[in-house]
Structure 1
Amino acid sequence: MSASLTDRSDPPSAANNNKPGAFLKSNIDVNLSNHYSSKVYTSSAPISGNVTITTKREVPFSAIQILLMGTTRTRIEGIGAAAHDVTHTFLKMNMPIPESTYPTPRTLETGHTYTIPFNFVIPRHLTINACNHEMLSSQLQDHHVLLPPSMGTNWAKDDMSPQMARVEYAIKARVLRLDEPSGKHVRVMEAVQLLNVLPETAEEPPLNITAQDTLYTMTKTKTLRRNLLSSKLGRLTARAIQPSPAILGPDGQHLVSAPTARVELHFEPAGADVPPPRITSASGKLTAHTYYSSGTIPTFPNLGDSRGQQFAADKRGVYATSVPLPALPTPATRWKHHLTSSARRDSGYSSNTEASEDSSSSGPKASLLSRTKSSAPVYHTATVDIPLALPVGRKTLVPTFHSCIASRVYTVALTLQMGAGGGGSGSTTVQLTVPLQIGVGGGADTDRAGLPSFEAAVEEAEADEHLRPRVVGVPEEQYQGGSVLPGYA
């Protein structure tokens, strides 16, 4: 959309002119339509307004720029070395201003106000040139061409970010003048209007977490005892399933979809008379991990051995800060009882598969050996679901993202207090650390814009049927020699 320079005469202030030594300063301002300080922009959101330039003296210029810019800044502070600042401009959209709209000669006259309208739309994806460095997986490339959220800027609430990593979006207006000796443009005037941007994000598949991924603890095994000196009651294994994503509204102020943590429990009692434990309380802690680097990051920084990443060749850093989750409900533990394979064989329900899984021995001697190794003929399993409430009222939770020099991921430390032996005198604590994706959903208008209408779907189906390939073949014998084919009778 074209822009124009509108000249509105504004006579210089006589009061200022009469002051001896007064400095007459020119002003440039970015004015956004329907904007307020806490407004949040998301994917495909329009940004419109105008730039006003008021001059108190004649200002020769060569060009005027109005830009929508996205910038990531990181700062690495080394021991005994100067801090290393890195800036990565991942988004730069230039509002075209036709040459015919510039005044002739190109001089902003004294006491005049010039108005230049502009229009931008927050893109859904970056161009492929925004990320062209080497990386170890194509999946990471898909993340790097997504817009990161604003981080460490002017959020009304703490966004759990360090000073060493910032993501900024801004409308910048510049008046440039060509420097003849160097042939470069010099900024004569500049105005900046910061924006809060939360791009819409899609749900990611669960992470493939291995033993090498030290940030997460998906499985924990504990020995249960009534007290420190008593004999063991059994062995409890807890295995967590990655929770579903937490989806925020486009403004980031409320949850559209709350996550649920699922934990699978497996209890092997020391004796047949030992009852399984029960969960007496549950609590959680949300931790935001912000990764930043002085060079491009070729891998997912949250995967692998995160303990040694600050010593990597590209001088990475990580900042982690935690906040307790609101009170979690105590889940009811409904145990299912199962016979061990040896108990099933002793009861006459053994199968060939079960027999082959035991040992090379067979017959009564093998059954006796099984009973000797396992003192209890049963084990117990249970699955519990724990809804997770997030502190959106106290914190600004920017969505999970990975960019070229900065990333943000979240973990939930889930603590289960277990009453040993069915809630006896002893208890044990099991803590699991699971990944949590935080995303941003689109509004109703955004979702509807991407879906075809019912009428359009019907028309498309009719067109497909009309253009469906026909197969021509020899008719059956009863229809040969006639003038009518099947389907036309």
Structure 2
Amino acid sequence: MPSAMATIATPSASAASTNASNYMPHITKSMPYPKSDVRINLRDHSSSKIYTSSSPVAGDVTITTKRDVRFDSIQIVLIGNTKASFDGMSFPQEVTHTFLKMVMPISESVYPIPRVLETGHTYTIPFNFVIPNQLTINACNHDRLSDQLQDHHVLLPPSLGGFQKDDMAPRMTKIEYVIKARVLSEPVLGGKKTRIVEATQQIQVLPASSEEPPLNVTEKDKLYNMSKTKAIRKTFLGTKVGRLTATALQPSAAVVSADGTCLKARPTARISLTYDPESPTMPPPQITTISGKITAHTYYSSGTISSFPNLGVWNQPYILDRRGHFFTSVPLPPIGAPEKQPSWKHRFTSTTRRDSGYGSESSDSSGPTDKAKSRSGSKNTKSPVYLTSTLDIPFDLPTDKKTFVPTFHSCIASRVYTLSLSIGVAAKGASSTVSLTMPLQVAIDGPSNGDTDPTQGLPTFEEAAADEHLRPRVLHVPDEIPAGRASWGPHIGSPFAPAYTEHSGEVAVGGDDELPGYGETGHHRRRD
């Protein structure tokens, strides 16, 4: 019995094309809903504008829909984020820390009734933010080694990675300030709100900062080299004519304008020089050349940073967090030789005088000629005098080429600067170069009176306490001054007693009290 076989007729190419055109099913492409137009319009804004502390960020949000859209609320927020990313063969990692979230309150009268965005209608919602002077205490609530570090972590960090001029930041680290306008819909049964439409606008922020005290640099801080001693020789293995020790002091802060375009305060590096000549008749050395560079160091971590990354050792073994350190240098404008050579003072050598530098190079050791003299038992010809001097080196920052963000330390990112100076000296036909690396703080000048509206900013805890402390009081002139021990100090109920104010059942002295700190009532610092 023959088996049943299915026969499939294969038409010719011409027939196939004809049938395809006749029997092709009609496919209707589902068109998406027309998009709504949401725009953030900033007042007096440009792509190059830089905001600073207490700067108003004002404007409005316009919403135009091409279909009726039912919604529940509209949200306008100013968000500050720090992002750190790490590349790896196994898995890449990106960490985001939100340190700032300011929500613009929207009045109920702004919303339409019912809450439906009608087709073709344009809705305008104004907003007004003020860049804060610092963050809330809750912005930094992780383990830390010192209260000083938390004080840095609650300061507003600058934008990083979005300026028109290079801010010397790596692509692995970004700090962004973004205004977001959202139209939200809330499920009937509750739950997470759904974003129907959203618009974003990024702004650049350089917060004002003040000069910090100088760092206490020790031998463990490998990033810096504050002192160095070099032997001055005519040739590499020739006779030593003297020994020069250079010790640097941390220069004053380089204060940049609020828009980052110019230098408001020119810093000066002070170098202490000590010269030990081989003979008391030798002339002091001459400063021949001075050159320098500024290096921007950016530290970032996948976890919270609990110590200053520029002090000590940053990449320590046996840590779980992934860490990165990126640095790039920019040469200083030409400094050249000083117009006037430093004046040297002759001092007599004492048996108790020590080397002024904690780090010395191997070039300080005696050369072959000196060793030969020692072996031959020749008389010690070391000079009984030494010379001291001070060299002041003013320098500028190349703000026309780079954007210098302020020195800052945040929870997962930090930026510090180092100043490297190379000083060339010459003495009696011999020459040498001494190189030093010292910390340099970059600060941002406060805004001028015309840049901000003094009524916009909110007072800090300290300002509010100072206002309460300096509130005028009415004192009555006493009829007579009490005699004896009663005149030593005021007493409650006497006309000399300071004013007292009751707050929640507590009695606060308004006279000689200090301003309340974080450890006092109403100002609790969070400790882990």
TM range (shorter): 0.7 to 0.9
Q: 1:411 aligns with which of 412, 418, 430?
A: 418
Q: TM-score, normalised by structure 1?
A: 0.80
Aligned to 1:393: 400
Give the counterpart letter for 1:284 in structure 2. Answer: G
Q: 1:211 aligns with which of 219, 224, 234?
A: 219
Aligned to 2:390: 383
| Cα separation, 2, equivalents of 1:467 and 1:93 | 50
Structure 2 CA distance for partners of 1:232 and 1:467, relative to 1, 3 Å: farther
Please state if 1:76 is matched with 2:73.
no
The range that moved more, 388-397 or 322-331, is 322-331
| Cα separation, 1, equivalents of 2:318 and 2:175 | 24
Kindly report which structure 2 residues correspond to 1:157-306, keeping only aligned pairs within 5 A, or say none: 157-180=165-188, 183-306=191-314
Q: 1:437 aligns with which of 425, 438, 441?
A: 441
Q: 1:35 aligns with which of 17, 35, 45?
A: 45
Aligned to 1:62: 72
Give the counterpart letter for 1:385 in structure 2. Answer: D
Structure 1: where are the runs of 5+ without partners?
A: 1-19, 345-370, 451-456, 476-489
Aligned to 1:314: 321
Give the counterpart letter for 2:154 in structure 1. Answer: V
| Cα separation, 1, equivalents of 2:471 and 2:158 | 39
TM-aligned CA deviation for residue 115 of structure 1? 0.5
Aligned to 1:125: 134
| Cα separation, 1, equivalents of 2:72 and 2:99 | 26
3-state secondary structure, aligned to 1:444:
coil
3-state secondary structure, aligned to 2:382:
coil
Aligned to 1:108: 117
Aligned to 1:353: none
Query: Identical aligned pairs, as a percentage?
Result: 54
TM-aligned CA deviation for residue 37 of structure 1? 0.8
Aligned to 1:134: 143
Q: 2:333 aligns with which of 311, 326, 346?
A: 326
Aligned to 2:60: 50
Kindly report which structure 2 residues correspond to 1:14-29, keeping only aligned pairs within 5 A, or say none: 24-29=34-39
Aligned to 2:105: 96
Indicate if the aligned counterparts of 1:56 and 1:110 stay in contact, CA closer than 8 A.
yes
Indicate if the aligned counterparts of 1:328 and 1:389 stay in contact, CA closer than 8 A.
no
Give the counterpart letter for 2:193 in structure 1. Answer: H
Indicate if the aligned counterparts of 2:263 and 2:396 stay in contact, CA closer than 8 A.
no
TM-aligned CA deviation for residue 156 of structure 1? 1.3
3-state secondary structure, aligned to 2:80:
strand
Aligned to 2:156: 147
TM-aligned CA deviation for residue 343 of structure 1? 13
Give the counterpart letter for 2:267 in structure 1. Answer: P
TM-aligned CA deviation for residue 414 of structure 1? 0.5
TM-aligned CA deviation for residue 25 of structure 1? 1.7
| Cα separation, 2, equivalents of 1:171 and 1:343 | 64
Structure 2: where are the runs of 5+ without partners?
A: 1-29, 354-377, 460-466, 486-528
The range that moved more, 255-264 or 412-421, is 412-421
TM-aligned CA deviation for residue 22 of structure 1? 8.2
The range that moved more, 439-448 or 125-134, is 439-448
TM-aligned CA deviation for residue 462 of structure 1? 8.7
3-state secondary structure, aligned to 1:142:
helix
Structure 2 CA distance for partners of 1:467 and 1:288, relative to 1, 3 Å: farther
TM-aligned CA deviation for residue 212 of structure 1? 0.2
| Cα separation, 1, equivalents of 2:133 and 2:316 | 31
Indicate if the aligned counterparts of 2:422 and 2:434 stay in contact, CA closer than 8 A.
yes
Give the counterpart letter for 2:129 in structure 1. Answer: F
Indicate if the aligned counterparts of 1:310 and 1:317 stay in contact, CA closer than 8 A.
no
Could you say which structure has the larger radius of gyration? 2
TM-aligned CA deviation for residue 64 of structure 1? 0.7
| Cα separation, 2, equivalents of 1:191 and 1:462 | 49
Aligned to 1:16: none
Query: Deviation digits for residues 49-106 of structure 1, max 9, x if unmatched?
Result: 000011011111111100011111111224x321110111100000011234322322
Structure 2 CA distance for partners of 1:343 and 1:444, relative to 1, 3 Å: closer
Indicate if the aligned counterparts of 1:309 and 1:316 stay in contact, CA closer than 8 A.
no
TM-aligned CA deviation for residue 321 of structure 1? 0.4
Indicate if the aligned counterparts of 1:124 and 1:199 stay in contact, CA closer than 8 A.
yes
Indicate if the aligned counterparts of 2:406 and 2:443 stay in contact, CA closer than 8 A.
yes
Indicate if the aligned counterparts of 2:258 and 2:446 stay in contact, CA closer than 8 A.
yes
Structure 2 CA distance for partners of 1:374 and 1:137, relative to 1, 3 Å: farther
| Cα separation, 2, equivalents of 1:310 and 1:465 | 65
Give the counterpart letter for 1:217 in structure 2. Answer: N
3-state secondary structure, aligned to 2:419:
strand
| Cα separation, 1, equivalents of 2:453 and 2:422 | 40
| Cα separation, 1, equivalents of 2:471 and 2:32 | 74
Structure 2 CA distance for partners of 1:22 and 1:171, relative to 1, 3 Å: closer
Aligned alpha-carbon RMSD (Å): 2.9
Structure 2 CA distance for partners of 1:315 and 1:128, relative to 1, 3 Å: same
Q: TM-score, normalised by structure 2?
A: 0.74
Structure 2 CA distance for partners of 1:170 and 1:420, relative to 1, 3 Å: same
3-state secondary structure, aligned to 1:179:
coil
